[in-house]
Chain A
Amino acid sequence: MTYIPHTDADREAMLAKIGVDSLDRLFDTIPAEHRFPVLDVPRPMSEMEVRWELEALANANAAAHEFPMFLGAGAYNHYIPSIVNHILLRSEFYTAYTPYQPEMSQGTLQAIFEWQSMLSVLTGMDAANASHYDGATSLAEAVTMAIAQGRGKRHKVIVSPNVHPQYRAVARTYHQGTGTKFVGDKSGQATLEDLTDMLDEGTALFVVQYPNFFGQIEDFNGLARKVHDAGALLCIVVDPIALGLLKSPGELGADIVVGEGQSLGIPLSFGGPYLGFFATKNEFVRKIAGRIVGETVDARGCKAYVMTLRPREQDIRREKASSNICTNQGLMALAASIYLAVMGKHGLRRVAELCYHKAHYAAQRIADLPGYGVQMKLPFFKEFIVTCSRPVSEINAMLFEDHHIIGGYDLSKDYPDRAGQMLVAVTETNPRAEIDDFVRALSLVAM
């Protein structure tokens, strides 16, 4: 039956050894009135039928392989080199599990160590962990770390309204039982100066995003000094593709760097699985949540890799663990490592430049359209806000129905006073012709 190899003879022999006369007798401990319920799920399908079924469901979606896409807002259509999938499909990687037994898991362990190293370099930090579920939960864990660092005396987190709305929501969900106060993002209007004015001796963490949710590169000069003078930590949420071009958050004075690694060789996949990354400075390493891999040697004098600082983790510290995280996003960290390896020093820079040039080209062309505005005073990367003269939902409906284009994000969904503002993303996967079509379509729907 499906993937079960047992024959009738096997079952008979095994039941005889066990000393029961049927499979059903193995469940006598289950209360009789609840034993062997009917499962109301369909009859089994063959692999052929399953394929047709899933393909029909997939066909009922309009996805980026068939429709030009200008939607970002935390998940991006970047080019995934073919090699990534070929390596991910090696079942020595994907049918292995947590490397509890390092001698049989050096492939997984060394790959994670390389990921940690590449991420440290990219972010300008000293150390990184194996992964979190996504950028949002990485931020939630950064809050936990900062609260722990504050030794119970600091319960306030100042968070910029320009940080991804879903990340701010997740951080709050995670801390609903801890008494942590989140301030700074209620009105959506606070400037960096407003936020730094809120710093006091009760502040554990100050959070900004770089580039911010709107694609803008804010001026963080002097920010780290102000945050550190108040005794708080600085957490910068970052887009990893931007780091192919821009100064690292380490250079800007960050203590913790988190973000979403989906842009690094991981498909959009309707929101998951993605890759939360977390990097920090040496002084905070013992407070990192989740798995970390370290270098060591084995009994034969060979270099080897092993999960380390294990007493932080749930299976050892239990209720005193820094986090409950167990299974993380291991295979996605592998995907990101492969991406960074094959793109390399030159390729990642090139991807970032292409995104930069194409987004700027699109922004300029749209700014020149009557009925649309693009504020280009602040430097921006990969995304920009377009002010429209009609609701974004209407524009997107017409873009899709009449022009088969997936438009940008409707900012009014998260920022009530940004009605009519669309967040447009342009990456290396948007050829010029597509961008020109998008501009033409916008001009037609503006009427």
Chain B
Amino acid sequence: MEARIETKTQPTVIEPLIYDLGAPGRRVSTLLTACDVPESSLPTELMRDDLDLPEVSEMDVMRHYVRLSSMNHAIDKGFYPLGSCTMKYNPKIDEDTARIPGFAMLHPLQDPYTTQGALGLMHQLQTWLAEIAGFEVCSLQPAAGAQGEFAGVLIMRAYHLDRGDTKRTRILIPNSAHGTNPATSSMAGLKVVEIPSNADGDVDLDALRQEVDDTVVGMMITVPSTLGVFDEHIEDIIQIVHDAGGLMYMDGANMNAMLGVAKPGELGFDVMHYNLHKTFSTPHGGGGPGSGPCAVNEKLVGFLPGPIVGIIEPAKGENDAPLYGWVMPPRSIGRLKAFHGNFGMHVRAYTYICLHGAEGLNAISRHAVLNANYLRVELADTYRVPYNRICGHEVVLEGHFPDAPGIHALDISKRLMDFGIHPPTNYFPLIVPEALLIEPTESESKETLDHFIAVMKTIAAEARANPDLLHSAPHVTPVGRVDEVLAAKQLVLCCRPLREWSATP
């Protein structure tokens, strides 16, 4: 039974599915060697009788994916101000270094004697990431920000249990937080307590004081906040939670505003995670792979997920290198994924830090914050800016107008596409109505920003003069506005006829 989307008329196909290209019997015959060993008899009773994969030529495949690629917007094509994602330029040298065969062809389970270059790289990256944020030790194992958060929350929980304190089962999270924060906390078996924000977009300190007690594991907070502003009272927040015996976790998604600006460890945070695919420009890949290293202060070092890279034998002399190897932290929360983390992203982040050095890293945050504030002041008389003060590396606007009812953030976003610009993050943070979260990053020039400002003003004018233009947008993209309701209703997740297996074997 073949699953197919059902509509009144046959939908036009822009690019056929890979299965619909090719022909029966077509194959790519050039890839594999002939069998050079005596053949054993195959276990026919264990073998499948069908293998429904495409039958295409290499050129069919190449053209298909080239055409698919042309339907994507990407950083390398144009402005991509997706708030909280840090869509900065991805240096091409990073792609080269990650692919050096001495890295790409290295097996994770090889004896450490044979992988000292990789271990040395990871150890150095661990050290740099800890240093940049003011922490003691960093684990590179988490595969993405959400996994880094999970590590951090498990570490906080384990720390209290290790002290014999079993009362702490609640975790405090601002209502502006990214969805991964509460989702992560639930996965760790903790009860999420939401702390409201005040009119300035800062954590409501009175509400915080009310909720904080000795049943609290700690607090998760993003700096600068997801609203794009540096909380005026960050030290007070940390003090309040610490005084109650809780720990402070920093969601490092917004570190692009913090490099050389402040070290979370020095501010008083106990643990944080990085998003290498944001701050350190490892490419986003259409949805990953990312990397979410977790860094901790001295009292939490023993709990890190492992193994991590350690020095097994110190260097014998000045011109010698130490012997690196794997170390499991003594009270580790455990292994979070197989092997060692997304090493290919470690190589890219290492390359990025080498290119930038301290002065380059300092320049990143200063220019990211410069760009966001420039957009803020230039758009503030066209769009409502709920927190109109000096912001961090991103700024949130409201995508609606009192005199253009029926126009929503969604419509503005879709219309932006007609100008070759990827929309900002929509409807996040949840506490801002019709939120448009704009993060330009430091990569963008003043010309790009001025163009964006002009386009946003044009769209604001269109919202009043010609709202249908926004409602029917986008017009120039490969597909028009897609029907998300139909997708969920008909739920076609596979394009092949599916076997229905006979009664349970």
Contact = CB atoms under 8 A, between A and B. Distances in A.
Contacts of A149: none
Given A61-B114, A225-B505, A324-B150, A135 B338 contact: yes
B370 A14 contact: yes
Contacts of A383: none
Interface string A272-284: 1110000000000
A56 B38 CA distance: 41
Contacts of A251: 48, 499, 501, 505
Contacts of A309: 488, 491
A132 B480 CA distance: 30
| Residue of A19, A23, A293, A340 with most partner-chain B CB within 10 A | A23
Contact of A29 (B19, B27, B232, B345): B232
Interface stretch (A75-83, A151-159, A187-195, A198-206): A75-83
A62 B347 CA distance: 17
Classify the interface of chain B: helix, strand, loop or mixed.
loop
B121 A57 contact: yes
A75 B422 CA distance: 37
Given A4-B443, A326-B144, A357-B40, 5 more contacts: A5-B445, A6-B367, A170-B336, A267-B104, A341-B56
B61 A342 contact: yes
Contact-residue bracket for chain B:
35 or more
Contacts of B494: 116-117, 120-121, 126-128
Contacts of B413: 101
A26 B373 contact: yes
B215 interface: no
Interface string B224-256: 000001111011000000000000000000000
Contacts of A164: 338
Contacts of A102: 479, 482, 484
B54 A341 contact: yes
B116 interface: yes
B189 interface: yes
B354 A53 contact: yes
A400 B261 contact: no
Contacts, number: 730
B366 to A, nearest CB: 4
Contacts of B109: 71, 73-75, 409
Contacts of A131: 287-288
A309 B490 CA distance: 11
A173 B344 contact: no
Nearest to B366: A23
Given A75-B339, A297-B5, A303-B5, A92 B69 contact: yes
B37 A432 contact: yes
B76 A314 contact: no
A121 to B, nearest CB: 4
Interface in A79-119: 79, 81, 83, 85-87, 89-108, 110-114, 116-118
Interface string A320-349: 110111111111111001101111111111
A416 interface: no
A60 B103 CA distance: 10
A50 B93 contact: yes
Contacts of B13: 302-303
A47 B446 contact: no
Contacts of A170: 334-338
B111 A400 contact: yes
Contacts of B335: 136, 166, 169-170, 173
Interface string B433-454: 0000000001111100000000
Contacts of A87: 62, 65-66, 69
A249 B413 CA distance: 43
Given A64-B105, A428-B33, A297 B61 contact: no
Interface in B152-200: 154, 157, 178-180, 182-190, 192
Interface in A1-53: 1-6, 10-11, 13-15, 17-20, 23-24, 26-31, 34-45, 47, 49-51, 53
A330 B285 contact: yes
Nearest to A26: B369
Contacts of A297: 5, 7, 11, 482-483, 486
Interface in A344-401: 344-351, 353-354, 356-358, 360-361, 379, 393, 396-397, 400
A281 to B, nearest CB: 10
Contacts of B19: 114, 117
